[in-house]
């Protein structure tokens, strides 16, 4: 009779360990979370930090450029060739 509670405890602990390993929702246990540089930035700053341009779409007389690195994304309004204003999407 003592074996049944022990077996239930082992299954309960093993299922929790398995749930932590499956992942897909953020960083794994013990890894640092990737944090964006700031809530606002420029295209130059983001590119220097390893962000990649994923898309660019016209918006009136300006362009909106979308940049991404890992699970962090920014939308940047290009005011001119050298001036931009970016804000975090997520």
* 78: in domain: yes
CB-based contacts of 8, cutoff 8 Å, min separation 6: none
Where b means 16+ CB within 10 Å and e means fewer, 50-76 reads ebeeeeeeeeeeeebbbbbbeebebeb
Q: Which domain range does residue 79 map to? A: 43-88
* 31: in domain: no
Total domains, the chain: 1
The string of pLDDT tens digits covering residues 10-66 is 444 444 444 444 445 555 666 665 555 566 788 989 999 999 999 999 998 899 999
The 10 Å Cβ neighbour count of residue 31 is: 9
* 17: in domain: no
The string of pLDDT tens digits covering residues 56-67 is 999 988 999 999
* 16: in domain: no
* 83: in domain: yes
* 59: in domain: yes
Q: Please determine, for residue 4, whether its predicted confidence score (pLDDT) is greater than 90.
A: no
Is the separation of the CB atoms in 57 and 63 below 8 Å? yes
* 25: in domain: no
Choose among 1, 72, 11, 74: nearest CA to 43: 74
Q: How confident is the model at residue 79 (pLDDT cuts 50, 70, 90)?
A: confident
Is the separation of the CB atoms in 76 and 86 below 8 Å? yes
* 84: in domain: yes
């Amino acid at each position: 009779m003592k074996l049944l509670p022990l077996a239930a405890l082992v299954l309960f602990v093993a299922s929790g360990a398995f749930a932590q390993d499956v992942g897909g929702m953020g960083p794994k246990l013990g890894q640092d979370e990737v944090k964006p540089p700031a809530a606002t930035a420029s295209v130059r700053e983001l590119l220097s930090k390893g962000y990649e341009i994923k898309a660019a779409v016209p918006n009136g007389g300006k362009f909106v450029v979308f940049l991404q690195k890992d699970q962090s994304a920014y939308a940047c309004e290009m005011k001119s060739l050298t001036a931009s204003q970016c804000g975090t999407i997520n």
